[in-house]
Amino acid sequence: EEATHSHHIVLLPPPGFLGHLIPFIELAKKLVSQYNFTVTLIIIPHDSEPQKSLLQGINPTTTNINSVFLPPVSIDDLPDDLNPDVLLPSRVIRSLPSLRHALSSLGTPATALVVDLFAVHAIDVAKQVGIPAYIFYVIAANELLLAIDLPKLNHDDHSVKLPGSIELNHEDLPDSVKDKNSEFRRWIVDLCSRYLLADGILVNSFLDLESEAFQELERRRPGIPPIYPLGPLIRTGLETESDRGTEILEWLNNQPPKSVLFVSFGSGGTLSVDQFSELGLGLELSGQRFVWVVRAPQENVSAAYLNAQKKDNGNKSKDPLEYLPPGFLERTKDRGLVVAGWAPQIQVLGHGSTGGFLTHCGWNSILESAIFGVPLIAWPLCFEHKMNAVFLTDGLKAAIRVKEINENGIVERGHVSEVVKQLMEGEEGKIIVKRMMDVKFAAANTLSQEGSSSKALAQVVRKWIN
């Protein structure tokens, strides 16, 4: 079944947070190319370079994707160190009047509004305008389940059970659940309770990856909206971003098959000064080949995250290479490549020389690894990444987790080296490689014409058209 150009889907990604914008753009492309919808991205401006460059990458003449920029809102009156769970929705709330205006002045009226999990306050606006509202949940179904259960959870619960008998201890709960401040908790519970107001929730995951979580969500029907697992949507239409990107790929061309560990902490992840250097020494000690994407160390990870995406980010002027152990580059030059800032991750993961990925467990990174069948070392930092790490190790059994943290909160070089060697040439690594090949196969299947994700998308499209 095909839409016509008069079927108009309006997408509302969050203000800032590259990892959420990417799947929104991919969903837009899919709705246009496979189903012939007209698609508009409504953008809440944010001082972010990646946002601009990603949006520029969409060519309006060939894709039928429009973008509308809402007027910027000021959040200068809010504290600087605000948690992203408050900061992002606050920007959204302040943009609701202009969103409403934009929705009512579209040339072709909107058929449905699809919002990010940080933009669920916009569901009210959709209802006012009289169109259905959907959430595009761009992270794990396990996290969605936890969010739905949040009002029932106590922040001092010692552990929480995920479907599939996965035990999450308190330390591994998402930051938003762990926070003890009661005002913050009220905010989060209100945010999550808005999920239930949606007409449906699209999830960037797939049945075979999180089968137990999806079964559990299904069991909650009709108490919760219909769930549509339609992933993995990963970034397509890649241009190699820079000369540096080309250099990395050329370097990989000269390495043996599956011999290189890719080390990266997502679009904004940073380590402390001591941890940064200790990781370097661990990589060196392992004797394995590596590509390491480095960013200048910072102590407060989640604040650094948002800052990393800002144009006026003062930290950018610091050279991350200065924090490497003395002589590191010289000693590892024959088998390691250190890259400041950014690497073309999808091309690196898809490269035949890449044999492992040390990741902070961001959901896009996990989906990309699934697509290419790359075995993982889990090194979660913040947000819901620790929970993803538990899922990857205890549930999926496709990762080794970095565990031993000393009294100063540091993972020491010896442990880093052990884990790296274990993944790249140890027995556990072999088992994980096999598991990841199954996941890769399942990911390809789910996106095939008869696959579960293709069917789920077709189902929601039918609802939109009729």
Question: At closest approach, how far in Å is the CB of 382 from ligand UDP?
Answer: 9
Contact 305, 382 (CB under 8 A): yes
Residue with tokens 């990010």, as numbered in its chain: 116
Backbone angles phi, psi at 356, to 5 degrees: -170, 160
Asked if the peptide bond before residue 13 counts as cis, ω within 30 degrees of 0, the response is no
Stretch that binds ligand UDP, among 17-25, 38-46, 174-182, 207-215 (CB under 6 A): 17-25
Distance in angstroms between the alpha carbons of the first and the last residue of the chain: 11
Where on the phi/psi map is residue 361: left (φ > 0), alpha (ψ -120 to 50), or beta? left
Our finding on whether 293 is near ligand UDP (CB under 6 A) is yes
Q: With both helix axes pointing from N to C terminus, report the angle between 452-465 and 18-35 in degrees, rounded to the nearest 10.
A: 70
Judged by CB under 6 A, the chain residues 18 through 37 that form the site for ligand UDP are 18-19, 22
Annotate 25-37 with DSSP letters as a single string. HHHHHHHHHHH--
Contact 204, 136 (CB under 8 A): yes
Judged by CB under 6 A, the chain residues 196 through 235 that form the site for ligand UDP are 235
Tokens of 42: 């409504």
Question: Which residue is catalytic, options 116, 172, 199, 208?
Answer: 116
Our finding on whether 399 is near ligand UDP (CB under 6 A) is no
124 is catalytic: no
Our finding on whether 343 is near ligand UDP (CB under 6 A) is yes
Question: At closest approach, how far in Å is the CB of 263 from ligand UDP?
Answer: 10
Nearer to ligand UDP by Cβ, of 91 and 413: the residue is 91
Contact 354, 260 (CB under 8 A): yes
Stretch that binds ligand UDP, among 36-44, 88-96, 142-150, 261-269 (CB under 6 A): 261-269
Our finding on whether 264 is near ligand UDP (CB under 6 A) is yes
Nearer to ligand UDP by Cβ, of 125 and 263: the residue is 263
User: Which residues are registered as beta bridge partners of 67?
Assistant: 41
Judged by CB under 6 A, the chain residues 360 through 379 that form the site for ligand UDP are 362-365, 368
Question: Which residue is catalytic, options 7, 8, 20, 360?
Answer: 20
Question: At closest approach, how far in Å is the CB of 178 from ligand UDP?
Answer: 18
Tokens of 444: 């390809």
Nearer to ligand UDP by Cβ, of 118 and 363: the residue is 363
Nearer to ligand UDP by Cβ, of 22 and 120: the residue is 22
**Residue 334 CB partners (closer than 8 Å, separation 6+):** none
Interface ranges with ligand UDP (CB under 6 A): 18-19, 22, 235, 264, 266-268, 293, 342-346, 362-365, 368
Catalytic positions, written as ranges: 20, 116
